[in-house]
Chain A
């Protein structure tokens, strides 16, 4: 039978062929473990054996002061650190994209550099920098801002601030990469048009640049939110969650429940799924906010 040229081969099937490899690996190594751990969330281990306990693990969360504290901390990081970081990244990207800038390569590379450091390594560095005889205290004392060294990591507010500063250092440049590449894809004519219309720099940023960057801003916002909810290495290595659990994050608490305390994988799984649930809600909010503005 003669084939109609226009129908052609079954492209849908080709599509699946492209996806097949990733899909297979994904089913095997993400979905299956995720489902198994979801089942764990309804179990509790006693004497080396798991028993079904229904919703007990979920109920326990609401009475668990440490968990609630960790949730509060995590949201605090999210509300403060993510916007500052994204704004800073955007400003840096715009500046780095400036046609008046000399030694572009040097500036770009230097600003991107922090994001290559391993989390363990940079956490150790930051802990040492903010210690009592660390460089930060030395500089502040030399400048006359402080009379005697300040214990940053022992004051709950400042300990959080140090975590946030550390994260800003590590992740801002990373987001700059995304913004810069997106900026370079905005046609130059758009900016020129704005200039002709007499817009100043700030107006151009908010009326032209940011709207153009909306998809990438959304992407980085979701990524950062996601990252914050999974924040672990920094608090683990810089403050160990202290003082008085004031820097403890949910992921850190999950880790503690699984590996530091008597292993309670059931409860840890339940908390993990609570995090998943929260992330989905946040993503929906972010998408709808972005949708409305457009």
Chain B
């Protein structure tokens, strides 16, 4: 018995020595990233139109540009495609682009730790939501490269450029937009006696009326929102009026925010009318849409990939401009939720290469924008790309509707607002307020007052 144990320990120790021994040598070859090889595995559709690129001449040491992003099916895939295109069109640049996929929360955790910890361990390019832009630029001044002169920003959507600018300087390359649409099930709407025509340019009050009929006649609830985070609707409604949690100067604007008040009122009405399906989570939301328990959703272009999962619903879906708030004249049938941009780190050893990479692909190459729109539903912010064929394409899942064309139509109308950077804090305060409102503990005014107080405390104001 004892001998057996000694033998086991010796074996374990030996195995460990081997582990550590080959840890170094074994990993070495994998550390150099072949961008071409990496792309081939992730891009199956993208490479159809172009021949597989010849491996770029690798004279001398190739420099690696590390990118942090957070969605394998979306912005990670897009950046990998950008890397592939860059290798093809700029073989002389001799760089590898390593796109590290994290969760969005994890990007922020790592970024904040590294920035607070003195600046080592940062990537060269990082994707940030426009909602947090102001927070990072304020909290860590000088950490992000000033790109004002590096891009022709007149070629990009102005509300996107505004979102990543501060004090007259622009710090990021605008990436995707959250042009908001109302996606709905035409078959269910028709069962309730309405047509595609009836869904155009609605007010929320009209929407609720239709919803009541749909719910009554089909037993399906009209609209879905995530229970613990009802802010997608709130944000969409708010920005449709050109208002936000913060005013132009960055002051908290909740208590006296007419748009917020109206959106709380609308959401409460939806709940009372029994047409609001409150999903527990993002997966619950996707599940409810996919298995047909809900008839519509308001969200950004990237959300389509979730809808598309239910293949049996092909042809049943349509998209329309979102409803507006009838009680406010400023409200229009267009808004934006989310959206993100690429930042270059100021102290990156390959700062110039990283900027050149962004310039080389993201400015001027409309084919690239076509590809990512088609494959990832990533609607860029580069205006010249909106004239290309992809926006004329008909989408069979949406019954042959020109879906991308709708987004391109909505975008120019979106009213820019100052996101103020502290959207996470504001969302939490609003979520709490809405939950209290739903449980009947407070009135709308009280809920908003509480939210303003919580946010003010959170921001130390």
Q: Are B109 and A66 in contact (CB under 8 A)?
A: no
Task: Please tell me if the beta carbons of B228 and A154 are within 8 angstroms of each other in the complex.
Answer: yes
Kindly identify which residue among A66, A240, A243, A263 contacts B139, using a CB–CB cutoff of 8 Å. Answer: A263
Contact pattern, A 241-285, Cβ under 8 Å of B = 1, otherwise 0: 111111000000000101111111100000000000000000000
Tell me how far the C-beta of A122 lies from the nearest C-beta in chain B, rounded to whole angstroms: 15
Given contacts A127-B280, A133-B291, are A65 and B228 in contact (CB under 8 A)? no
Q: Does A204 contact B (CB under 8 A)?
A: no
Q: List 23 A-B contacts (CB under 8 A).
A: A47-B139, A48-B139, A60-B460, A64-B457, A65-B453, A65-B454, A66-B458, A127-B283, A131-B281, A133-B287, A133-B288, A133-B291, A152-B280, A153-B227, A153-B281, A239-B228, A242-B435, A243-B439, A256-B428, A259-B105, A259-B108, A262-B135, A263-B116
Minimum Cβ distance to chain A for residue B442 (Å): 10
Q: Which of B277, B287, B432, B459 has the most CB of A within 10 A?
A: B432
Bound complex: CA A241 to CA B141 (Å): 31
Q: Known: A242-B229, A243-B228, A261-B458. Contact between A131 and B284, CB under 8 A?
A: yes
Q: Are A128 and B283 in contact (CB under 8 A)?
A: yes
Pair B108/A260 contact, Cβ less than 8 Å:
yes
Give the 9 A-B CB pairs with smallest separation, nearest first.
A244-B435, A242-B228, A243-B435, A153-B280, A154-B227, A259-B109, A244-B432, A131-B280, A131-B284
Residue-wise interface mask of A (185-211) relative to B, using a CB-CB cutoff of 8 A (1 in contact, 0 not): 000000000000000000000000000
A288: chain B residues within 8 A (beta carbon): none
Q: Is residue B26 within 8 Å, beta carbon to beta carbon, of the partner chain?
A: no
Per-position binary interface string of chain A over residues 60-99, scored 1 when its CB falls under 8 Å from any chain B CB and 0 otherwise: 1001111000000000000000000000000000000000
Kindly state the interface size class of chain B when it binds its partner: 35 or more
**Interface residues of B, Cβ cutoff 8 Å to A:** 105, 108-109, 112-113, 115-116, 135, 138-143, 227-229, 277-281, 283-284, 287-288, 291, 293, 421-422, 424-425, 428, 431-432, 435-436, 439, 453-454, 457-460
- Residues of chain A lying within 8 A (CB to CB) of residue B422: 261-262
**Residues of chain A at the chain B interface (Cβ within 8 Å):** 45, 47-48, 60, 63-66, 127-128, 130-133, 151-154, 156, 239-246, 256, 258-265
Q: CA separation between A151 and B280, bound complex, in Å? A: 8
User: What's the Cα separation between A220 and B198 when bound, in Å?
Assistant: 63
Q: Which residues of A contact B288 (CB under 8 A)?
A: 132-133
Query: Are B228 and A240 interface neighbours, CB within 8 A?
Result: yes
Known: A60-B460, A132-B279, A132-B284. 4 other contacts (CB 8 A): A131-B281, A132-B277, A133-B288, A241-B228
* A154 and B287 contacting across the interface, CB-CB below 8 Å: no
Find the B residue at minimum CB distance from A128: B283
Partner of A265, one of B116, B228, B459: B116
From B115, B138, B228, residue with most partner A Cβ within 10 Å: B228
CA distance A133 to B292 in the complex (A): 12
Which residues of chain B are near A243, meaning CB under 8 Å?
227-228, 431, 435, 439
Complex contacts, B141 vs chain A, CB 8 Å = 47-48
Give Cα A262–Cα B139 distance, bound, in whole angstroms: 7
The reply to whether A47 and B281 contact each other, CB–CB distance below 8 Å, is no
Partner of A65, one of B227, B229, B428, B457: B457
User: Hey, which chain A residues are within 8 Å of B116, CB to CB?
Assistant: 45, 263, 265
- How far in angstroms is the closest Cβ of chain A from B330? 29
B431 cross-chain contacts in A, Cβ below 8 A: 242-244
Q: Do A154 and B278 form a contact, CB below 8 Å, given A48-B139, A64-B457, A239-B228?
A: yes
Minimum CB–CB distance for B120 against chain A, Å: 16
Which residues of B are found within 8 Å of A47, using beta-carbon distances?
Answer: 138-139, 141
Q: Are A48 and B228 within 8 A (Cβ)?
A: no
Residue of A nearest to B142 (CB): A48
Task: Tell me whether A133 and B283 are in contact (CB under 8 A).
Answer: no
A135 to chain B, nearest CB (A): 13
- With A131-B287, A154-B227, A261-B424 known as contacts, the answer to whether A245 contacts B280 (CB < 8 A) is no
